[in-house]
Amino acid sequence: MASSSNGFITPSPEAAPARSRNLLAASIVHALHDGYTDALYAFLPIWQTQFGLSYAGLAIVRALYYATMGGLQLPADRALRRFSPRTALLIATLTAAAGYCIMALPVGFAGLCIGLVVAGIGSSIQHPRGSVLVTETYGAEARRPLGIYNFAGDLGKATLPALAALLLPLLAWRPVLGLMALLGLVVAGILVRLAPAVTVQDDTGDRPAVAGHSRHGFGLLTIIGGLDTATRMGYLLFLPFLIHARGGGSATVGIALALLFVGGAFGKAACTWVSERLGVIGSVIVTEGATALLIVATLFTPLAALLVVLPLLGVVLNGTSSVLYGTVPDLAPSGDTGRAFAIFYTSVIGSGGIAPILYGAIADHSSQSIGIVASGLTAGAIIPLVAALRPALRASPARSLT
């Protein structure tokens, strides 16, 4: 290992095979857990009918998963940072799979709620530990690997919700959840061979302290990340119902989610390319502005045209997050990337749990269209906030970010 000029540890070239295995392990787990998270959208219309839930009530049920996942980010990072990556990621994956297994059991609404909480506990472990595994493995070169890690998450978002939606017309919803739990066990077996069995050492002491205005910048970054997630989760709450209102069935919902998330996966690479040319601020302004416009546009498009628009919307709706995640290590207070990722994920995941409840309440008291417009306006609100991030980005160790 060698120290680079910005204070990060730069891995030696001979460590490349191990670095690739670490990235692959983190990416596979990220794909599973993000797939688990967004596959829940395919079940929302079924749960609403079976349990007689309103939009807000449905969002509250889903928030059991999100609140647990978001609220336990910091405790999970603190408790498991000295465990090996293999142990931490196995615990995360097996716990999330156990949650899906509980939801699959015929124990009624209470079982559904308990399973959501257990699955959320598993994902709370995965996020900070997987991100730190990639960051500490690649050191100063971590921005692009973090983009691959986030791209893998979008692959999971594209495949598991589509798979669930395609199976639901053929099987009852509980067996579908059981099959997804089985997939988690398969991934756990793969991790035994891939994930490193030794602790990834925290090199916080080798990194430069972060100036006060950069600390403020990190706080602002978490707010921006929270609003970006609020926009995405608010729109996803209504998308299945928007498809049904246009005459689409469960299979069409699955296709729509897949198109959105495939666009999002492409957006990870596209937004990274844009940020290299426009900078973090310019790229976020462009993507959030486009997000707001395209969200509103989906209110006026017929089903066929909507399916064409969704991949474009996915590019900007999901792609912005790769730029934001990649900036976390550079604004991490005191260089503690593990804690910084835990705080950032707490913000974005907490927002993802709370925002749909608020948007759902708006829709319950007005209309579905107003709820969708509210999510679009949230994207627009990010534009003036990201402009205020410029001083912190200029003062960060990696000046190329600006």
In 3D space, the residue among 227, 236, 221, 216 whose CA is nearest the CA of residue 381 turns out to be 227
Fold of 12-401: Growth Hormone; Chain: A; (1.20.1250)
pLDDT at site 193: 82
Contact 392, 1 (CB under 8 A): no
**Which DSSP string do the residues of 282-296 spell out, in sequence order?**
HHHHHHHHHHHHHHH
Cα 271 to Cα 266: distance, rounded to the nearest angstrom = 9
| Residue 343 burial (10 A CB sphere; 0-12, 13-18, 19+) | buried
User: Model pTM greater than 0.75?
Assistant: no
pLDDT at site 397: 53
Amino acid identity, residue 2? A
Backbone angles phi, psi at 2, to 5 degrees: -135, 150
pLDDT at site 48: 86
Contact 59, 233 (CB under 8 A): no
Domain layout of the chain by residue ranges: 12-401
Contact 37, 97 (CB under 8 A): no
Backbone angles phi, psi at 182, to 5 degrees: -60, -40
pLDDT at site 330: 74
pLDDT at site 215: 67
| Residue 333 burial (10 A CB sphere; 0-12, 13-18, 19+) | middle
Cα 278 to Cα 285: distance, rounded to the nearest angstrom = 10
pLDDT in tens, the chain (402 residues): 444 434 444 444 545 677 788 888 889 999 999 899 888 878 888 888 888 888 778 878 888 887 888 788 888 777 777 777 778 888 999 999 999 999 999 888 888 999 999 999 988 888 778 887 887 787 767 667 877 888 888 788 778 988 888 898 899 999 999 999 999 999 999 888 887 766 555 444 444 444 444 567 888 888 999 999 999 888 988 888 888 888 888 788 878 887 887 888 788 777 877 877 888 888 889 999 999 999 999 998 899 899 999 999 999 998 888 888 777 877 777 667 777 888 888 888 778 778 888 888 898 888 888 999 999 999 999 999 988 887 777 666 544 434
Contact 208, 140 (CB under 8 A): no
Exposure of 400 in the CB half-sphere (CA atoms within 13 A): 9
pLDDT at site 214: 59
Cα 80 to Cα 326: distance, rounded to the nearest angstrom = 22
Query: What are the structure tokens assigned to 353, written together?
Result: 């749990």
Amino acid identity, residue 18? A
Cα–Cα distance list, 77 to 184, 376, 389 (Å):
21, 33, 26
pLDDT at site 15: 59
Q: 2 forms bridges with which residues in the sheet? A: 10
